[in-house]
Amino acid sequence: MNQGTQGSTGTERTGITGPVRVPSQVRAADVDAARDRQARAQGGLPEPQVERTRAADAVPKARGGRPPAEPPMPAPRVLPAEQPMPARRVASAEQPMPAPPAGHRARPVVQRASVRGQILDALRTALVTGELTPGEVYSAPVLGERFGVSATPVREAMQQLALEGAVEVVPNRGFRVVERGARELAELAEIRALVEVPVMLRLARTVPAERWAELRPAAEATVRAASTGCRATYAESDRAFHRAVLALAGNAQLVQIADDLHRRAQWPLTGTPTSRGRAELVADAAEHTALLDALIAGDLDVVRSLVGEHFAGAS
Protein backbone atom coordinates (compact mmCIF):
# COMPACT_ATOMS: atom_id res chain seq x y z
CA MET A 1 0.00 0.00 0.00
CA ASN A 2 1.24 3.40 -0.87
CA GLN A 3 1.98 5.39 2.17
CA GLY A 4 1.41 8.56 0.31
CA THR A 5 -2.27 7.87 0.09
CA GLN A 6 -3.01 6.34 3.45
CA GLY A 7 -2.27 7.65 6.87
CA SER A 8 -1.60 5.84 10.05
CA THR A 9 -5.29 5.89 10.86
CA GLY A 10 -6.13 3.83 7.82
CA THR A 11 -8.37 6.44 6.16
CA GLU A 12 -8.07 7.17 2.43
CA ARG A 13 -6.70 10.54 1.42
CA THR A 14 -7.81 12.33 -1.69
CA GLY A 15 -4.61 14.03 -2.42
CA ILE A 16 -6.29 17.47 -2.23
CA THR A 17 -4.87 19.72 0.33
CA GLY A 18 -6.83 22.52 1.99
CA PRO A 19 -10.49 22.80 3.02
CA VAL A 20 -13.14 21.20 0.85
CA ARG A 21 -15.67 23.72 -0.76
CA VAL A 22 -19.30 22.63 -1.06
CA PRO A 23 -20.93 24.12 -4.16
CA SER A 24 -23.90 26.42 -3.37
CA GLN A 25 -27.33 25.38 -4.61
CA VAL A 26 -28.84 27.27 -7.52
CA ARG A 27 -32.07 28.99 -6.50
CA ALA A 28 -35.18 28.34 -8.57
CA ALA A 29 -35.89 32.06 -8.77
CA ASP A 30 -32.49 32.68 -10.36
CA VAL A 31 -33.14 29.94 -12.89
CA ASP A 32 -36.49 31.49 -13.77
CA ALA A 33 -34.97 34.92 -14.14
CA ALA A 34 -32.23 33.59 -16.40
CA ARG A 35 -34.80 31.70 -18.45
CA ASP A 36 -36.84 34.86 -18.86
CA ARG A 37 -33.89 36.95 -19.95
CA GLN A 38 -32.90 34.32 -22.49
CA ALA A 39 -36.45 34.14 -23.85
CA ARG A 40 -36.68 37.90 -24.25
CA ALA A 41 -33.27 38.05 -25.89
CA GLN A 42 -34.33 35.42 -28.45
CA GLY A 43 -37.60 37.22 -29.21
CA GLY A 44 -39.70 34.78 -27.27
CA LEU A 45 -42.42 35.63 -24.83
CA PRO A 46 -43.34 39.32 -24.44
CA GLU A 47 -42.83 40.91 -21.10
CA PRO A 48 -46.46 40.81 -19.87
CA GLN A 49 -46.80 37.18 -20.88
CA VAL A 50 -43.59 36.29 -19.06
CA GLU A 51 -44.97 37.88 -15.93
CA ARG A 52 -48.24 35.94 -16.29
CA THR A 53 -46.26 32.72 -16.83
CA ARG A 54 -44.20 33.41 -13.75
CA ALA A 55 -47.27 34.16 -11.72
CA ALA A 56 -48.91 30.97 -12.91
CA ASP A 57 -45.83 28.97 -11.88
CA ALA A 58 -45.98 30.59 -8.45
CA VAL A 59 -49.51 29.29 -7.80
CA PRO A 60 -49.29 26.48 -5.29
CA LYS A 61 -50.07 23.11 -6.73
CA ALA A 62 -52.90 21.04 -5.39
CA ARG A 63 -52.85 17.36 -5.05
CA GLY A 64 -51.94 15.53 -8.20
CA GLY A 65 -49.93 18.50 -9.48
CA ARG A 66 -52.96 20.60 -10.63
CA PRO A 67 -53.58 24.15 -9.54
CA PRO A 68 -56.47 24.57 -7.13
CA ALA A 69 -59.77 25.38 -8.85
CA GLU A 70 -60.99 28.95 -8.46
CA PRO A 71 -64.18 29.40 -6.49
CA PRO A 72 -67.14 29.61 -8.88
CA MET A 73 -68.67 33.01 -9.54
CA PRO A 74 -72.08 33.47 -7.99
CA ALA A 75 -74.86 33.05 -10.54
CA PRO A 76 -76.58 36.31 -11.40
CA ARG A 77 -80.03 36.76 -9.92
CA VAL A 78 -82.60 36.34 -12.61
CA LEU A 79 -85.43 38.78 -12.27
CA PRO A 80 -88.94 37.61 -13.12
CA ALA A 81 -89.74 38.30 -16.72
CA GLU A 82 -92.04 41.23 -17.30
CA GLN A 83 -95.42 40.49 -18.72
CA PRO A 84 -95.60 41.56 -22.34
CA MET A 85 -97.70 44.61 -23.04
CA PRO A 86 -100.93 43.79 -24.79
CA ALA A 87 -100.80 44.63 -28.43
CA ARG A 88 -102.72 47.76 -29.25
CA ARG A 89 -105.41 47.57 -31.74
CA VAL A 90 -104.49 49.57 -34.76
CA ALA A 91 -107.14 51.61 -36.42
CA SER A 92 -108.59 50.30 -39.55
CA ALA A 93 -106.15 52.39 -41.56
CA GLU A 94 -104.26 49.18 -42.28
CA GLN A 95 -107.34 47.80 -43.96
CA PRO A 96 -108.04 49.85 -47.07
CA MET A 97 -111.57 50.93 -47.74
CA PRO A 98 -113.22 49.08 -50.58
CA ALA A 99 -113.10 50.95 -53.83
CA PRO A 100 -116.39 52.55 -54.88
CA PRO A 101 -118.17 50.95 -57.82
CA ALA A 102 -117.50 52.26 -61.27
CA GLY A 103 -119.46 55.36 -62.13
CA HIS A 104 -120.14 56.15 -58.47
CA ARG A 105 -120.20 59.88 -57.67
CA ALA A 106 -118.81 60.77 -54.27
CA ARG A 107 -121.22 62.73 -52.09
CA PRO A 108 -119.98 65.57 -49.90
CA VAL A 109 -119.94 64.58 -46.25
CA VAL A 110 -122.36 66.84 -44.36
CA GLN A 111 -122.16 66.88 -40.59
CA ARG A 112 -125.60 66.63 -39.06
CA ALA A 113 -124.69 68.97 -36.22
CA SER A 114 -123.51 71.56 -38.74
CA VAL A 115 -126.81 71.37 -40.66
CA ARG A 116 -128.76 71.71 -37.43
CA GLY A 117 -126.70 74.76 -36.46
CA GLN A 118 -127.23 76.41 -39.82
CA ILE A 119 -130.97 75.83 -39.65
CA LEU A 120 -131.05 77.17 -36.10
CA ASP A 121 -129.28 80.37 -37.16
CA ALA A 122 -131.64 80.78 -40.09
CA LEU A 123 -134.72 80.35 -37.88
CA ARG A 124 -133.40 82.84 -35.35
CA THR A 125 -132.87 85.37 -38.11
CA ALA A 126 -136.41 84.72 -39.36
CA LEU A 127 -137.71 85.33 -35.84
CA VAL A 128 -135.89 88.68 -35.50
CA THR A 129 -136.99 89.94 -38.91
CA GLY A 130 -140.59 88.80 -38.36
CA GLU A 131 -140.50 86.35 -41.26
CA LEU A 132 -141.81 83.77 -38.80
CA THR A 133 -145.06 85.43 -37.78
CA PRO A 134 -145.99 85.31 -34.08
CA GLY A 135 -148.97 83.03 -33.50
CA GLU A 136 -148.49 81.02 -36.69
CA VAL A 137 -147.82 77.26 -36.69
CA TYR A 138 -144.99 75.89 -38.83
CA SER A 139 -144.35 72.23 -39.54
CA ALA A 140 -140.88 70.75 -39.78
CA PRO A 141 -141.45 69.07 -43.18
CA VAL A 142 -142.66 72.32 -44.77
CA LEU A 143 -139.73 74.30 -43.39
CA GLY A 144 -137.39 71.49 -44.47
CA GLU A 145 -138.58 71.86 -48.07
CA ARG A 146 -138.07 75.59 -47.79
CA PHE A 147 -134.46 75.19 -46.62
CA GLY A 148 -133.76 72.21 -48.91
CA VAL A 149 -133.11 69.75 -46.05
CA SER A 150 -134.97 66.93 -44.37
CA ALA A 151 -137.42 67.51 -41.56
CA THR A 152 -135.08 66.07 -38.91
CA PRO A 153 -132.60 68.98 -38.50
CA VAL A 154 -135.49 71.45 -38.68
CA ARG A 155 -137.31 69.62 -35.92
CA GLU A 156 -134.17 69.55 -33.76
CA ALA A 157 -133.61 73.29 -34.30
CA MET A 158 -137.23 74.03 -33.43
CA GLN A 159 -136.89 72.03 -30.21
CA GLN A 160 -133.94 74.22 -29.25
CA LEU A 161 -136.04 77.34 -29.93
CA ALA A 162 -138.76 75.86 -27.74
CA LEU A 163 -136.23 75.62 -24.89
CA GLU A 164 -135.36 79.28 -25.44
CA GLY A 165 -139.03 80.28 -25.34
CA ALA A 166 -139.34 81.40 -28.94
CA VAL A 167 -141.79 78.71 -30.05
CA GLU A 168 -144.05 76.16 -28.44
CA VAL A 169 -144.78 72.61 -29.53
CA VAL A 170 -148.19 71.89 -31.05
CA PRO A 171 -148.77 68.10 -31.07
CA ASN A 172 -149.27 66.57 -34.52
CA ARG A 173 -148.99 69.98 -36.17
CA GLY A 174 -145.59 71.55 -35.58
CA PHE A 175 -144.36 74.62 -33.70
CA ARG A 176 -146.18 77.87 -32.97
CA VAL A 177 -144.25 81.13 -32.74
CA VAL A 178 -144.83 82.65 -29.30
CA GLU A 179 -146.82 85.90 -29.21
CA ARG A 180 -145.32 88.56 -26.96
CA GLY A 181 -146.65 91.86 -25.77
CA ALA A 182 -145.19 95.07 -24.39
CA ARG A 183 -145.39 93.75 -20.85
CA GLU A 184 -143.11 90.82 -21.60
CA LEU A 185 -140.62 93.10 -23.32
CA ALA A 186 -140.59 95.40 -20.27
CA GLU A 187 -140.00 92.44 -17.97
CA LEU A 188 -137.05 91.30 -20.06
CA ALA A 189 -135.58 94.83 -20.02
CA GLU A 190 -135.93 94.95 -16.22
CA ILE A 191 -134.18 91.61 -15.77
CA ARG A 192 -131.38 92.64 -18.11
CA ALA A 193 -130.90 95.87 -16.15
CA LEU A 194 -130.74 93.98 -12.85
CA VAL A 195 -128.06 91.67 -14.26
CA GLU A 196 -125.91 93.93 -16.43
CA VAL A 197 -126.06 97.43 -14.86
CA PRO A 198 -124.35 96.52 -11.53
CA VAL A 199 -121.68 94.60 -13.43
CA MET A 200 -121.00 97.51 -15.80
CA LEU A 201 -120.77 99.99 -12.92
CA ARG A 202 -118.34 97.73 -11.07
CA LEU A 203 -116.25 97.30 -14.20
CA ALA A 204 -116.28 101.08 -14.74
CA ARG A 205 -114.49 101.47 -11.39
CA THR A 206 -111.97 98.66 -11.83
CA VAL A 207 -111.14 98.19 -15.53
CA PRO A 208 -108.37 100.51 -16.83
CA ALA A 209 -109.03 102.85 -19.74
CA GLU A 210 -106.80 100.93 -22.15
CA ARG A 211 -108.94 97.82 -21.74
CA TRP A 212 -112.08 99.78 -22.56
CA ALA A 213 -110.34 101.23 -25.61
CA GLU A 214 -109.88 97.69 -26.94
CA LEU A 215 -113.68 97.46 -27.34
CA ARG A 216 -113.78 100.36 -29.79
CA PRO A 217 -113.95 98.04 -32.88
CA ALA A 218 -116.99 96.23 -31.42
CA ALA A 219 -118.83 99.52 -30.80
CA GLU A 220 -118.04 100.77 -34.29
CA ALA A 221 -119.28 97.47 -35.75
CA THR A 222 -122.74 98.16 -34.27
CA VAL A 223 -122.78 101.57 -35.97
CA ARG A 224 -121.97 100.02 -39.36
CA ALA A 225 -124.60 97.29 -38.87
CA ALA A 226 -127.22 99.87 -37.94
CA SER A 227 -126.47 101.90 -41.05
CA THR A 228 -127.53 98.93 -43.22
CA GLY A 229 -131.04 99.00 -41.75
CA CYS A 230 -131.01 95.19 -41.40
CA ARG A 231 -132.52 94.24 -38.06
CA ALA A 232 -130.93 90.78 -38.02
CA THR A 233 -127.45 92.14 -38.78
CA TYR A 234 -127.74 94.77 -36.09
CA ALA A 235 -129.12 92.27 -33.55
CA GLU A 236 -126.01 90.12 -33.85
CA SER A 237 -123.55 93.03 -33.57
CA ASP A 238 -125.53 94.45 -30.62
CA ARG A 239 -125.22 91.20 -28.66
CA ALA A 240 -121.53 90.91 -29.59
CA PHE A 241 -120.80 94.32 -28.03
CA HIS A 242 -122.61 93.49 -24.80
CA ARG A 243 -120.84 90.11 -24.60
CA ALA A 244 -117.46 91.84 -24.96
CA VAL A 245 -118.28 94.25 -22.13
CA LEU A 246 -119.52 91.58 -19.73
CA ALA A 247 -116.61 89.26 -20.57
CA LEU A 248 -114.33 91.66 -18.69
CA ALA A 249 -115.97 90.41 -15.48
CA GLY A 250 -114.49 86.96 -16.08
CA ASN A 251 -117.80 85.16 -15.47
CA ALA A 252 -118.76 82.88 -18.37
CA GLN A 253 -122.13 81.98 -16.85
CA LEU A 254 -123.02 85.64 -16.56
CA VAL A 255 -122.19 86.22 -20.22
CA GLN A 256 -124.29 83.24 -21.33
CA ILE A 257 -127.36 84.17 -19.27
CA ALA A 258 -127.22 87.82 -20.29
CA ASP A 259 -126.88 86.88 -23.96
CA ASP A 260 -129.92 84.61 -23.76
CA LEU A 261 -131.99 87.41 -22.20
CA HIS A 262 -130.74 89.83 -24.84
CA ARG A 263 -131.78 87.48 -27.67
CA ARG A 264 -135.28 87.13 -26.24
CA ALA A 265 -135.61 90.88 -26.05
CA GLN A 266 -134.85 91.17 -29.77
CA TRP A 267 -137.93 89.22 -30.93
CA PRO A 268 -140.61 91.50 -32.38
CA LEU A 269 -143.83 92.17 -30.50
CA THR A 270 -147.25 91.01 -31.63
CA GLY A 271 -149.22 93.63 -33.54
CA THR A 272 -146.24 95.96 -34.06
CA PRO A 273 -144.08 96.59 -37.13
CA THR A 274 -141.83 93.61 -37.77
CA SER A 275 -138.72 95.75 -38.04
CA ARG A 276 -137.36 98.90 -36.53
CA GLY A 277 -136.45 101.70 -38.80
CA ARG A 278 -132.91 102.53 -39.74
CA ALA A 279 -132.98 105.73 -37.63
CA GLU A 280 -133.88 103.78 -34.51
CA LEU A 281 -131.07 101.32 -35.07
CA VAL A 282 -128.55 104.11 -35.61
CA ALA A 283 -129.67 105.87 -32.41
CA ASP A 284 -129.33 102.65 -30.43
CA ALA A 285 -125.83 102.06 -31.82
CA ALA A 286 -124.82 105.63 -30.92
CA GLU A 287 -125.52 104.79 -27.28
CA HIS A 288 -122.83 102.10 -27.48
CA THR A 289 -120.12 104.54 -28.56
CA ALA A 290 -121.22 107.14 -26.00
CA LEU A 291 -121.16 104.51 -23.24
CA LEU A 292 -117.69 103.40 -24.26
CA ASP A 293 -116.42 106.99 -24.23
CA ALA A 294 -117.74 107.44 -20.68
CA LEU A 295 -116.14 104.17 -19.55
CA ILE A 296 -112.77 105.21 -20.99
CA ALA A 297 -113.06 108.61 -19.24
CA GLY A 298 -114.10 106.96 -15.97
CA ASP A 299 -117.20 109.16 -15.64
CA LEU A 300 -119.43 106.98 -13.45
CA ASP A 301 -122.39 109.38 -13.47
CA VAL A 302 -122.57 109.39 -17.26
CA VAL A 303 -122.09 105.63 -17.33
CA ARG A 304 -124.99 105.12 -14.90
CA SER A 305 -127.27 107.41 -16.90
CA LEU A 306 -126.42 105.90 -20.29
CA VAL A 307 -126.78 102.33 -19.08
CA GLY A 308 -130.22 103.06 -17.59
CA GLU A 309 -131.47 104.73 -20.78
CA HIS A 310 -129.99 102.01 -22.97
CA PHE A 311 -131.79 99.18 -21.17
CA ALA A 312 -135.04 101.12 -20.90
CA GLY A 313 -135.25 101.36 -24.67
CA ALA A 314 -133.46 98.13 -25.45
CA SER A 315 -134.83 95.81 -28.05
Confidence of residue 32 (pLDDT cuts 50, 70, 90): low
Domains and CATH numbers, the chain: 112-177 (1.10.10.10), 182-312 (1.20.120.530)
Poorest-pLDDT segment among 60-64, 124-128, 197-201, 226-230: 60-64
Mean pLDDT of 273-288: 81
pLDDT of the residue at 114: 86
Cα angle for residues 199, 202, 208 (degrees, 5° grid): 120
**How far is 216 from 174, CA to CA, in rounded Å?**
43
Poorest-pLDDT segment among 48-52, 165-169, 171-175: 48-52
Total number of residues shown for the chain: 315
**How far is 177 from 165, CA to CA, in rounded Å?**
9
pLDDT of the residue at 271: 64
The string of pLDDT tens digits covering residues 123-169 is 999 999 889 999 999 999 999 999 999 999 999 999 999 999 999 99
Task: Annotate the chain with three-state secondary structure.
Answer: CCCCCECCCCCECCCCCCCCCCCCCCCHHHHHHHHHHHHHHCCCCCHHHHHHHHHHHHCCCCHHHCCCCCCCCCCCCCCCCCCCCCCCCCCHHHCCCCCCCCCCCCCCCCCHHHHHHHHHHHHHHHHHHCCCCCCCEECHHHHHHHHCCCHHHHHHHHHHHHHHCCEEEECCCEEEECCCCHHHHHHHHHHHHHHHHHHHHHHHHHCCHHHHHCCHHHHHHHHHHHHHCCHHHHHHHHHHHHHHHHHCCCCHHHHHHHHHHHHHHCCCCCCCCCCCCHHHHHHHHHHHHHHHHHHHHCCHHHHHHHHHHHHHCCC
pLDDT of the residue at 59: 46
**How far is 287 from 22, CA to CA, in rounded Å?**
137
pLDDT of the residue at 72: 47
Assess whether pLDDT exceeds 90 at residue 49. Answer: no
Mean pLDDT of 198-224: 95
Assess whether pLDDT exceeds 50 at residue 63. Answer: no
Assess whether pLDDT exceeds 70 at residue 267. Answer: yes
**How far is 267 from 287, CA to CA, in rounded Å?**
20
- Give strand pairing partners of 177: 167
Mean pLDDT of 37-41: 63
Confidence of residue 101 (pLDDT cuts 50, 70, 90): low
**How far is 128 from 238, CA to CA, in rounded Å?**
13
